Amino acid sequence: MTNTPADRQGIFTRRNLFGATAAGLAATSLGACATSGGDDEAEEVTVGEDAENPFGVDGTAPLDVVIFDGGFGNEYAVAHQAMYNEAYPDAEITHLATQAIAETQQPRFAEGKPCDVLDNSGAQQIPMDALVGDGELAELSPLLDAPSYDDPEVTVRETLRDGVLDAGTFNGEVYALNYVFSAWTIWYDAKLFRDNGWTPPTTWDEMLALCPTIQAAGIAPWTYAGQHPVYLYDMFLILAGRHGGVQVVKDIDNLVPDAWRHPSVVAAAEAMRGLGASGYLLEGSAGIDHIQSQTAFNNNEAAFLPCGSWLPNEQRSIAPEGFEYAPMGVPYLEGSVQPGLISAGGEEPFVVPKNATNLAGAYEYLRIMLSQEGAQIFGDTVQAATVVKGVELDNPAAQATDALVANPEDLFQPRFRFWYTGMDTEMRPALGQLINAETTADEFIERMQTVADETAADDTIEKFTHDE
Amino acid sequence: MRHGKYPFILSFLALPVGLYAWLVILPFAQAFQISLTDWSGSSNSFNYIGFDNYVNLFKDERFVLPALQHTGIILVVMPVVTIALGLFFAFMLNLGGRMRRGRIEGVRGARFHKIVFFFPQVLSVAIVGILWKQVYAPENFGGLITGALTAVGLPAPVNGFLADKRFVLAAVIGVLVWSAVGFYLVYFSSAIASIPRDLYEAAIIDGAGRVPMFFKITLPLLWDSVQTAWIYLSIIALDVFVLVYLMTPEQGGPDASSEVVGGVIWKYAFKYGEQAFASAIGVVLFFAALSLAVVSLRVGRRERIEF
């Protein structure tokens, strides 16, 4: 952070807002406007001795929870709130379930009166880099170091799966609790493959060898959500990372000079381009959205689809009878040094605003979410894994994903798209053009290297790095 | 009671003017103020950085410059095409038919056509966007135009019109024109209706065809209406964002080839957390719209023809 909260205060007072001319008008009306509101010195939460109530929650203080009402719904949150009320029956909980996160919550941040717990997710999430950069979020170490809900001998941190805090960690400080454990994989219909006698490929060459056979059956080998090339991110980056080792993709995130020109990244770019150049994409893929690509996949119009581990649950009621969602890692290139690498970790960031009224209650709410019971509630209602260890899921696709992410050494989440919006906006169209063979691999690499260099050279952009 | 006049008037004006100042002028003023800061939009603290946002704005080749270019194209093409089509259809529907019993009438079924042309105006923009997204879709995914083109043996873009950098802007303009033309058809029709018929009858007796009739009588007498339509359409053109948001990949893609100013403001303000930069673009857009209105009113000023 460039500024401490202290020297930011006072820059903006009602008095110097408009100067003398508009002062009369401003004084009466600014209370309702975007850039007003006082910045009280935020309180800190510390971990006390009492394992039952480590944050010293005031049982009568109200709690204000905002949940992103997307693929996971908000039923689980209502159950978590019931757990909170069980412990603090006098606490009045305000529960807002919405898809319009930025629309409803950004003004509250600007006013200095944010909610207590925010599930900052979905297409309308408030940019995390802006929230962190502005110092609007509370650091979550007190929560992680507190005794866990189920066993006072074990800290909350110790109940979590490996690597799940990375996505919410900004330069060593944890600002978001990513509650859902998910992985980016390649999906195929196990039944289709079995019926046709196809073996799911493990290497890129096996995949390429299988493609003509798939086409002969009247099926396109690949499709993807062309309107949202973000679905290709992890396929491409993990392909490069598997070939050259995780450091290759870490270097990209860390803006290391010439990171994009690494031979493994070039090889991955050439491989991706090859899919389009060989006609292995379902015709029209570049023009469709994720719903259309998933529908085409459900209808066996395409054999492979890159997507996240939420897919089978999302398609539960839509997928045709007999369709067997099965995940695999992206087929690795010849000579890969880390063929098990996979993009997996926490998603669905829950944050606690620094200026939250009931900071202690917010920490306690998150602690409840991370309890065995809280996590199991989530697992049971939405059939997705949480970041808490030891939650049982009966969904076969979820179990198969679990097997892919078994080795903690191989878990890595590419991060630059969350850290640097400028690189993200360049990467999306560039990747879309690459897979459709509209650009060469070299043009793609140079385009990305240029924006990476610009980002690295721009002092106004706050920099983040992976912890070593 | 003459001395009581001003307090009386003021008491009526106070509320509307106050509301206007509070809800319109103040936010505008605040946008100016914000554009001089580095405010992210999700904090209540910021620093004043002078005119840096304005300087950077014209260096932003990723979004702002393409957006200015595209909005410029829309601003020129959309009103021209819409007004031309609106005038043509209005003329045909009112005066384009045969003479019957000494009266000039529109083409057969004019009333029916008028209603059909007006349909798009009744649909909400969201529906229009979703509808046309499907019309422009790739052939494999039920695209109407791509399918029709292929059916008659013409080449069509494989990925549909909206995913193709060459066609996406034209596709958006096409929808804008389609949805606006009906309204201006009705608007010009009512203006034509107020032109005395004897002018046309005299022209016909003098042997004038439809084309001279249009350019010598209809257009000059409709000039005021055309000018008004021009300003309205220009404002729509500057404002075009919803269709881009609904229809195009990545709300302005592919690769920024349908980016418009309104969309870029939205992206910076709400997706990238750069509210101050977005405000600066908004201020530029504000002045562009203002000068556009002034210029078109000045340039278009002609002598009124009394009839």
Q: Does the pLDDT at position A7 exceed 60?
A: no
The confidence score (pLDDT) of residue B305 equals: 64
Residue range A156-173: average pLDDT? Answer: 88
Nearest chain B CA: its distance from A377 CA (Å): 32
Distance, CA of A379 to CA of A76 (rounded, Å) = 9
Residue B227 lies in a domain: yes
Judge: B40–A130 Cβ closer than 8 Å, yes or no.
yes
The confidence score (pLDDT) of residue A8 equals: 35
Task: Work out the pLDDT band at B297, boundaries 50, 70, 90.
Answer: confident
Nearest chain A CA: its distance from B113 CA (Å): 34
Q: β-strands A169-170, A173-174: how paired?
A: antiparallel
Residue range A450-465: average pLDDT? Answer: 89
Cβ atoms of A117 and A128 closer than 8 Å: no
Task: Work out the pLDDT band at A4, boundaries 50, 70, 90.
Answer: very low
Q: Which of B42, B53, B167, B168 to mutate to test the interface with A (most CBs of A within 10 A)?
A: B42
Burial of residue B182, with CB atoms counted within 10 A of its CB: 0-12 exposed, 13-18 middle, 19 or more buried: buried
Residue range B190-197: average pLDDT? Answer: 87
State the total domains in chain B. 1
Q: Cα-atom radius of gyration of chain A, to the nearest Å?
A: 24
Judge: A109–B140 Cβ closer than 8 Å, yes or no.
no
Q: Which of A288, A417, A436, A438 to mutate to test the interface with B (most CBs of B within 10 A)?
A: A288
Task: Work out the pLDDT band at B2, boundaries 50, 70, 90.
Answer: low
The confidence score (pLDDT) of residue A430 equals: 94
Those residues whose C-beta lies under 8 Å from the C-beta of residue A451, and which sit 6 or more positions away, are A422, A423, A426, A427
Distance, CA of A442 to CA of A436 (rounded, Å) = 14
The confidence score (pLDDT) of residue A418 equals: 83
Burial of residue A409, with CB atoms counted within 10 A of its CB: 0-12 exposed, 13-18 middle, 19 or more buried: exposed
Residue range A384-395: average pLDDT? Answer: 81
Judge: B44–A112 Cβ closer than 8 Å, yes or no.
yes
What is the per-residue pLDDT across A175-193, written as a single tens digit (0 to 9) for each? 999 999 888 999 999 999 9
Choice between A73 and A187, residue whose per-residue pLDDT is larger: A187
What is the per-residue pLDDT across A286-329, written as a single tens digit (0 to 9) for each? 999 888 999 999 999 999 999 988 888 778 788 898 899 999 99
Number of CB pairs < 8 Å for A and B? Answer: 149
Judge: B44–A29 Cβ closer than 8 Å, yes or no.
no
Type of residue at B79: P
> Which of chain B's residues have a Cβ under 8 Å away from the Cβ of A289?
249
The tokens for B59 are: 């260096």
Q: Does the pLDDT at position B39 exceed 90?
A: no
Cβ atoms of B33 and A17 closer than 8 Å: yes
Q: Does the pLDDT at position B11 exceed 90?
A: no
What is the per-residue pLDDT across B136-169, written as a single tens digit (0 to 9) for each? 999 888 889 999 998 898 888 888 999 989 999 9
Q: Does the pLDDT at position A44 exceed 90?
A: no
Q: What is the CATH number of the domain that holds B270?
A: 1.10.3720.10
Distance, CA of A393 to CA of A345 (rounded, Å) = 17
The confidence score (pLDDT) of residue B129 equals: 92
The confidence score (pLDDT) of residue A239 equals: 96
Which domains are delineated in chain A? 47-181+345-401 (3.40.190.10), 183-343+415-457 (3.40.190.10)
Residue B7 lies in a domain: no
Q: Name which of A127, A133, A289 is nearest B271 (Cβ-Cβ).
A: A127
Judge: B255–A127 Cβ closer than 8 Å, yes or no.
no
Q: Which of A109, A227, A436 to mutate to test the interface with B (most CBs of B within 10 A)?
A: A227
Of the candidates B108, B117, B90, the one whose C-alpha atom is nearest the C-alpha of residue B219 is B90
The confidence score (pLDDT) of residue A133 equals: 84
Structural domain harbouring B228: 61-299
Count of residues making up chain A: 468
Residue B11 lies in a domain: no
Residue range B202-207: average pLDDT? Answer: 84
Q: β-strands B99-100, A220-222: how paired?
A: unpaired
Q: Please, what is the Cα angle at A387 between A384 and A391, to 5 degrees?
A: 60
Q: Name which of B250, B271, B274 is nearest A428 (Cβ-Cβ).
A: B250
Closest chain B residue to the Cα of A130, Cα to Cα:
B273
The confidence score (pLDDT) of residue A220 equals: 95
Q: Name which of A127, A135, A283 is nearest B140 (Cβ-Cβ).
A: A283
Q: Does the pLDDT at position A5 exceed 80?
A: no
- ipTM comes to 0.80
What is the per-residue pLDDT across B48-81, written as a single tens digit (0 to 9) for each? 888 888 988 888 888 999 999 999 999 999 999 9
Nearest chain B CA: its distance from A129 CA (Å): 8
Choice between A11 and A402, residue whose per-residue pLDDT is larger: A402
According to the per-residue pLDDT averaged within each range, which of A231-235, B194-198, B226-230 is highest?
A231-235
Q: Name which of B158, B162, B272 is nearest A421 (Cβ-Cβ).
A: B272
Q: β-strands A63-68, A93-98: how paired?
A: parallel
Nearest chain B CA: its distance from A216 CA (Å): 18
Closest chain B residue to the Cα of A460, Cα to Cα:
B38
- Render the burial of A238-277: b for 16+ CB within 10 Å, e for the rest: bbbbbbbebbbbbbbbbbbeebbebebbbbbbbbbbebbe
Tell me how crowded residue A110 is: count the other CB atoms within 10 A of its CB: 24
Residue B55 lies in a domain: no
> Which of chain A's residues have a Cβ under 8 Å away from the Cβ of B273?
126-127, 129-131, 133, 421
What is the per-residue pLDDT across A89-105, written as a single tens digit (0 to 9) for each? 999 999 999 988 988 99
Of the candidates B278, B243, B270, the one whose C-alpha atom is nearest the C-alpha of residue B60 is B278
Closest chain B residue to the Cα of A13, Cα to Cα:
B45
> Which of chain A's residues have a Cβ under 8 Å away from the Cβ of B249?
226-228, 287, 289, 432
The confidence score (pLDDT) of residue A92 equals: 94
Judge: A18–B22 Cβ closer than 8 Å, yes or no.
no
Q: Does the pLDDT at position B208 exceed 90?
A: no
Least confident of A49-53, B171-175, B234-238: A49-53
The confidence score (pLDDT) of residue B306 equals: 64
Choice between A349 and B307, residue whose per-residue pLDDT is larger: A349
Tell me how crowded residue A104 is: count the other CB atoms within 10 A of its CB: 14
pTM metric for this prediction: 0.81
Residue B31 lies in a domain: no
The confidence score (pLDDT) of residue B128 equals: 93
Of the candidates B275, B276, B274, B45, the one whose C-alpha atom is nearest the C-alpha of residue A11 is B45
The confidence score (pLDDT) of residue A14 equals: 34
Residue B35 lies in a domain: no
The confidence score (pLDDT) of residue A43 equals: 65
